[in-house]
Structure 1
Amino acid sequence: MEFEFYHYAVFVLTGLCAGFVDSIAGGGGILTMPVLLAMGIPPHLALGTNKLQASFGSFTAAVNYSRKGLVSLSGIWMPVLFTAIGATIGTVSIQMLSADFLSVIIPFLLAGIFFYTLLTPQLGQEDRKARMGKHAFYVAAGLLLGFYDGFFGPGTGSFWTIGLVLLIGLDLKKATAFTKIVNFTSNIVALIAFIIGGNVIFTIGILMGAGQMTGAYLGSRMVILRKVNFVRSVFLAVVGVTLIKLIWDTVFG
């Protein structure tokens, strides 16, 4: 495919903005996928290229969070393993099944997350006692959300974050950092499948990835330096926009 010079600038800028938002509250795909499709890239190539550029951002944010002590890489092998398994199954399944039924169910789940977070101001302000065993949560969430991210995707980061806050008792900062690790895992697994299928435009993915890395670094720095209320505000904004987009696509798509 051929693009004009300004197209490349748009790709980089889009990656930067998406990386910034995604490193704080997820939802970067809400920005990147419409741009890729608007540039005339076929859906299957857009999906694969999107996974490539998203991997740069999630990796950068994960490294920054781990270096600042918000998440320990040594204790996260179990959710990473089961997320990889779930994402593998999901990525294979999406090539054989329709994701239409998920597009109907997910907006209701996201609406629940949005209003629960909105009406619970103290949610995620500090660590709390876990309501579920960590190992059980890691297995269940890894398989289910890994599958979902490989199969469909929108809102995955929101589901991880709210699950870590409500069931494991992490504050929003730590939950956000943890989420980037498992997001990177499912991104890489899906990316490998798309590469095998020849559905990645590497030039565009790497350009957007450069923007992603810059945005992800800046966004993760904001989370590290700012209070939980900042993360909560961005989280609500991203979940709200994701919800609106999914409803729009369901009704008018």
Structure 2
Amino acid sequence: MTDIALHVFILLFFAAFFAGFVDSIAGGGGLITIPALLIAGIPPLHALGTNKLQGQFAAASSTIAYARKGHMDIKAQLPMALVAAAGGAIGAITAAYVPGTVLQIVMPFLLVAVAIYFALKPNLSDVDGHRRLTPIVFAATVVPVVGFYDGLFGPGTGSFYMLGFVTLSGYGMLKATAHTKLLNFGSNVGAFIVFIFSGAILWKLGCVMAVGSVLGAQVGSRLAMKNGARIIKPLLIVTCLAMAAKLLADPANPVRMWMGF
């Protein structure tokens, strides 16, 4: 790729800050960074690889913040994190064989679908509910599937982990959010290792975004621990819909070209 302009670095730094903030509260930071990278003109595969570089720092930052306050047990989560890492690696290998246009086509609809889900899903609170899956079954089913998705596409991974914990493990939203962070870190690392060998990482840009995401994650995790789940739904809904609209507004988007406008 040619050199990236300074203003692109600055804009993506702030996009990563906001993504780290959102991801630390409810997951879904990739819903901001991946579209932002694509909008900035980064090729889809490089956008995925660069996002994994910055995303693992945000996840690690959030993990440490929640663990320090006693909202999660890192040692107890490690086996699940390793499963997530394996799923992320397999997903990243698969991503290398998926045409770049697929991401441009799928992303707007995925963003809208996530927004609709959050808008319509009832009873999202911080109160623990009924457990439907044991930890072992959860680790053998939900974790590798979401980890694979993280390596393949990525946006919304934290949200999907969180909702899995809420609906299947019976966790309240704050507890679920805290427990997703190490899993999200694991799937990010697994995918990141694969992207290193594929050469699909923009290192300078990824490091700049990593700084932004770490700062955002620290601010967001503290806010989440203070206020719980009250700010999650409107934040994700607005972000998802805004990014979907921006992607569809791109004249080069295949969906827009198919529709003839």
TM (normalized to structure 1)? 0.85
In 2, distance between residues paired with 1:67 and 1:207? 26
CA shift, 1:44, in A, is 2.2
1:208 and 2:213 aligned: no
Pairs aligned (count): 250
Match of 2:117 in 1: 113
Higher mean C-alpha deviation, range 158-167 or range 243-252: 243-252
CA shift, 1:243, in A, is 7.2
In 1, distance between residues paired with 2:55 and 2:25? 14
Higher mean C-alpha deviation, range 36-45 or range 218-227: 36-45
In 1, distance between residues paired with 2:41 and 2:236? 30
In 2, distance between residues paired with 1:246 and 1:38? 7
In 2, distance between residues paired with 1:41 and 1:142? 29
Which letter maps to 1:42?
A: P
CA shift, 1:134, in A, is 1.5
Which SS does the other structure have where 1:228 is aligned?
coil
Structure 1 residues 133, 241: CA separation in 2 closer, same or farther (over 3 Å shift)? Answer: farther
Work out whether residues 61 and 180 of structure 1, in 8 Å CA contact, stay in contact via their aligned partners in 2.
Answer: yes
Which SS does the other structure have where 1:229 is aligned?
coil
C-alpha offsets along residues 214-248 of structure 1, whole Å, 9 cap, x if unaligned?
A: 10100000001113323444455556667777988
Higher mean C-alpha deviation, range 232-241 or range 3-12: 232-241
In 2, distance between residues paired with 1:162 and 1:242? 21
Which SS does the other structure have where 1:131 is aligned?
coil
Which letter maps to 1:110?
A: V
1:162 and 2:163 aligned: yes
Which letter maps to 2:5?
A: E
Please list every run of 5 or more consecutive structure 1 residues that lacks an aligned counterpart in the other structure: none
Work out whether residues 17 and 215 of structure 1, in 8 Å CA contact, stay in contact via their aligned partners in 2.
Answer: yes
Match of 1:73 in 2: 74
Structure 1 residues 81, 189: CA separation in 2 closer, same or farther (over 3 Å shift)? Answer: same
Match of 2:183 in 1: 182
**Superposed counterparts of 1:53-72, under 5 Å:** 53-72=54-73
Work out whether residues 103 and 250 of structure 1, in 8 Å CA contact, stay in contact via their aligned partners in 2.
Answer: no
Please list every run of 5 or more consecutive structure 2 residues that lacks an aligned counterpart in the other structure: none
CA shift, 1:165, in A, is 0.6
Runs of 4+ in 1 over 6 A off after TM superposition: 242-250
Match of 1:32 in 2: 33
Match of 1:49 in 2: 50
TM (normalized to structure 2)? 0.83
Structure 1 residues 5, 33: CA separation in 2 closer, same or farther (over 3 Å shift)? Answer: same
CA shift, 1:115, in A, is 4.6
Which letter maps to 2:199?
A: G
Work out whether residues 63 and 182 of structure 2, in 8 Å CA contact, stay in contact via their aligned partners in 1.
Answer: yes
Structure 1 residues 123, 5: CA separation in 2 closer, same or farther (over 3 Å shift)? Answer: closer
Match of 2:106 in 1: 103
Work out the percentage of aligned pairs sharing the same amino acid.
35
Work out whether residues 67 and 74 of structure 2, in 8 Å CA contact, stay in contact via their aligned partners in 1.
Answer: yes
- Two-structure CA RMSD over aligned residues (Å): 2.9
Structure 1 residues 137, 41: CA separation in 2 closer, same or farther (over 3 Å shift)? Answer: same
In 1, distance between residues paired with 2:73 and 2:242? 30
Which SS does the other structure have where 2:224 is aligned?
helix
Which SS does the other structure have where 1:205 is aligned?
helix
1:252 and 2:256 aligned: yes
In 2, distance between residues paired with 1:143 and 1:23? 21
Work out whether residues 114 and 240 of structure 1, in 8 Å CA contact, stay in contact via their aligned partners in 2.
Answer: no
**Superposed counterparts of 1:185-200, under 5 Å:** 185-200=186-201
In 1, distance between residues paired with 2:248 and 2:39? 20
Which SS does the other structure have where 2:64 is aligned?
helix
